[in-house]
Amino acid sequence: MKSENTNKMKITNICCIGAGYVGGPTMSVIAQKCPDIKVTVVDINENRIKAWNDPNVENIPIYEPGLTEVVKEARGRNLFFSTDVDKAIDEAEMIFISVNTPTKTYGIGKGMAADLKYIELSARQIARVATSDKIIVEKSTLPVRTAEAIKNILDNSGKGVKFQILSNPEFLAEGTAVENLLNPDRVLIGGEQTKDGRAAIEALVGIYQRWIPKERLLTTNVWSSELSKLTANAFLAQRISSINAMSELCEMTEADVEEVARAIGADSRIGSRFLKASVGFGGSCFQKDILNLVYIARSYNLHEVADYWEQVIIINNHQRSRFSKKIVQSLFNTVSGKKIAFLGWAFKKETNDTRESAAIYVADALIEEQANVVVYDPKVKGEQMYADLDYLASRDIDENRNKLIVADDPYAACKDAHAIAILTEWDEFKTYDWKRIYKEMQKPAFVFDGRNLLDKEMLTEIGFVHYAIGKS
């Protein structure tokens, strides 16, 4: 770190541990915007790094609109992907930690708490390797007060190296990652309220300031920053569960959930975004972060707070399961041996990420009812679909391969099907030749639109029996 007269640190070398959906795009954009800073993204997963370094930039492991262009510009110039974690840590003045923090699958807090083992491993590795002062930036979403644990590990390295810990949670949404990184609503930086803490905050502000207006860079104490990220995700997910809860009531009362959403969204206090009823939210964050919030609240004996947020997850699970039940009921109470075509497997459009996607749970429920599920998704690979189903451990993995077939063409997926279920809102589904699809299906031909994507009038005119969320 070069010290300037004003005590400002000039950062020339940063690294990021974790080349995933957050670390990869975030660091690519930082490298593009700061050509004078060397940016190294490291990961223990050799295949992932190999893919990031693939000479054909189309083969990078994460699909995000606009990302290949950013990587093309910066890779090899000041953006590097590597598995040599020690070297990158040693050289960097600022280290982002962007490893995953999944829900714990064992021990105390199983199924609720965030598993911080990768965070701790990263901190221990930094403590072991570092020979000069460093700023550590928490990028991963973490329980409030995690910075304290990281600091304890680092401060006891016994080498006299000084560390400053910043919390800089990432708010990007997948599918719009590059756009969100280039033009964020805000960037949040939490740090220690001391002279050194403020200098570290300023160093990170100095990076973002290159392309983001200063008024959008919010600085807070570390704990507010950590908790704000959990709170933001909880509020966003709560809006979806709220509208999804109303969708079921709409179906009973002949109200139309889209009309209700439009009517309430016009109130500027409520706002119109994130009010789209669906088969249920997915993604790596909402469920994990709310479960974690619930766990933290319970650990402070705040049971009413915990119950309040837990309800968001309960409604989401209910929304998924009532969608699969609707399919079974509509198909004359049995789907055994029937072909159900899924359009979409990703948890939302414009991404190949499938973590916690509603499609996984709906497929699992239908396979349990002995349906034959055939899936087409424009970006998700078949091996990922099988990995997702196998992870639920509901049955033998061979049976998953018998009961779920991957199609690489949507018309083949739908041919001879008894029903089609829309699980992801890919735009291309709207442009299909629905007359041809109808002709080639079993009759009556059902469409279950879990995303309210398709035009109901068009489908019913063709002859489909049509079900959409929150519509009678």
d(CA 179, CA 32): 13
Could you tell me if 203 and 9 are in contact, meaning their C-beta atoms sit under 8 angstroms apart?
Answer: yes
CB of 451 to ligand UDX, least distance (A): 8
Name every residue whose Cβ is closer than 8 Å to that of residue 18 and which is 6 or more positions away in sequence: 41, 42, 43, 96, 97, 98, 99, 100, 118, 122, 139, 140
Q: Which of these ranges, 12-20, 217-225, 387-395, 464-472, lies near ligand UDX under the rule CB under 6 A?
A: 12-20
Q: Assess whether 8 carries a catalytic annotation.
A: no
Please report, as residue ranges, which positions from 286 to 315 form the binding site for ligand UDX (by CB under 6 A). Answer: 286
Strands (E), 319-435: 339-343, 372-376, 404-406, 419-422
d(CA 61, CA 241): 31
Shortest distance in whole angstroms from residue 151 CB to ligand UDX: 19
Angle at 318 between CA 316 and CA 323, to 5 degrees: 105
Measured CA to CA in angstroms, residue 339 lies from 199, 387, 404, 465 at distances of 61, 21, 10, 16
Question: Hey, which residues between 338 and 367 contact ligand UDX (CB under 6 A)?
Answer: 347-348
Per-residue binding string, ligand UDX, 38-77, x by CB under 6 A, is -----xxx--x-----------------------------
Q: Is 334 in the site for ligand UDX (CB under 6 A)?
A: no
Burial class (CB in 10 A: 0-12, 13-18, 19+), 83: middle
Query: Least distance (Å) from ligand UDX to the CB of residue 393?
Result: 20
Q: Residue with structure tokens 């059902």? A: 446
Query: Given the complex with ligand UDX, which of 34 and 422 has the nearer CB atom?
Result: 422
* CB of 462 vs ligand UDX, minimal distance in Å: 26
Is the CB of residue 397 less than 8 Å from the CB of residue 386? Answer: yes
By C-beta, is 197 or 470 nearer to ligand UDX?
Answer: 470
The piece of 96-104, 218-226, 376-384, 387-395 that touches ligand UDX (CB under 6 A) is 96-104
* Active site (annotated) includes residue 229: yes
Size of the site for ligand UDX (CB under 6 A): 41
Per-residue contact string for residues 155-184; x = within reach of ligand UDX by CB under 6 A: ---------------xxxxx----------
Q: Pick from 68, 141, 241, 354 the residue near ligand UDX by CB under 6 A.
A: 141
Query: For ligand UDX, which stretch binds (CB under 6 A), given 126-134, 216-224, 268-276, 404-412?
Result: 268-276
Q: Pick out residues in 216-235 that bind ligand UDX (CB under 6 A).
A: 233
Catalytic residue among 170, 226, 258, 425: 170
DSSP tally for the chain: helices H, then strands E: 18, 16
Cβ-based neighbours of 92, under 8 Å, separated by 6 or more:
13, 14, 15, 40, 134
Give the one residue of 40, 100, 103, 228 binding ligand UDX; rule: CB under 6 A: 100
Q: How far apart are CA 9 and CA 21, in angstroms?
A: 29
Is 17 one of the binding residues for ligand UDX (CB under 6 A)?
A: yes
One of 32, 103, 278, 316 touching ligand UDX (CB under 6 A): 278
> What number of CA atoms fall less than 13 Å from residue 184's CA on the CB side?
23
What are the E-state strand segments in 148-293? 163-167, 187-190, 217-220
| Least distance CB 172 / ligand UDX (angstroms) | 5
Would you say 348 and 313 are in contact if contact means Cβ atoms under 8 Å apart?
no
* Candidate list 19, 200, 203, 422; residue touching ligand UDX; CB under 6 A: 19
Question: Which residue in the list 104, 139, 229, 276 is annotated as catalytic?
Answer: 229
Q: Which of 167, 219, 247, 284 binds ligand UDX (CB under 6 A)?
A: 284
Q: Least Å distance between CB 436 and ligand UDX?
A: 28
Residue closest to ligand UDX (Cβ): 20
The count of other CB atoms within 10 Å of the CB of residue 180 is 19
Q: Which of 15, 250, 285, 414 is catalytic?
A: 285
Going from the C-alpha of 116 to that of each of 102, 281, 286, 357, the distances in angstroms are 8, 24, 17, 23
DSSP per position, 268-283 = TTT-STT----S---S
Position among 240, 257, 335, 468 found at the interface with ligand UDX (CB under 6 A): 240
Nearer to ligand UDX, 19 or 70 (CB): 19
Distance CA 375, CA 359 (A): 10
* 403 catalytically annotated: no
Q: Which two tokens stand for residue 263?
A: 């009517």
| CB nearer to ligand UDX: pick between 236 and 374 | 236
Structure tokens, 256:
């139309």
Q: Which residues are catalytic?
A: 170, 229, 285
Binding site for ligand UDX (CB under 6 A): 17-23, 43-45, 48, 98-101, 118, 121-122, 139-141, 170-174, 233, 236, 240, 274-276, 278, 281-286, 347-348
